[in-house]
Amino acid sequence: MSQLDETLGGLRVIKAFIAESKMSARFSKTNNDFRDAMNEMIIRQSSAHPMSEFLGTCVIVTVLLFGGGL
């Protein structure tokens, strides 16, 4: 009876180790996908800020030129 318990317990341990590697691979993939998405978002945000600053400056210059000509 004890040998049967040891065998079944050993099978549970083996299954746990197999599941651990699968879950580790799954976590790594999810983590890499999240990192890539965050990097893409940061790149877009960093390029949008200077563009909005430039467009705002252009609007102010246009208003000043138009207002100065009146």
Domain that holds residue 44: 1-70
Question: Quick one: tokens of 3?
Answer: 């040998």
* Domain total of the chain: 1
Q: pTM for the whole thing?
A: 0.55
Q: Which of 30, 34, 32 is nearest to 22 (CA)?
A: 30
Predicted pLDDT of residue 15: 74
Q: Residue 54: pLDDT band by 50, 70, 90 thresholds?
A: very high
Q: Residue 4: pLDDT band by 50, 70, 90 thresholds?
A: low
For residue 44, pLDDT over 80 is answered with yes
Taking every pair of Cα atoms in the chain, the longest distance, rounded to a whole number of angstroms, is 102
Whole-number average pLDDT of the chain: 84
Question: How many percent of the chain have pLDDT more than 90?
Answer: 40
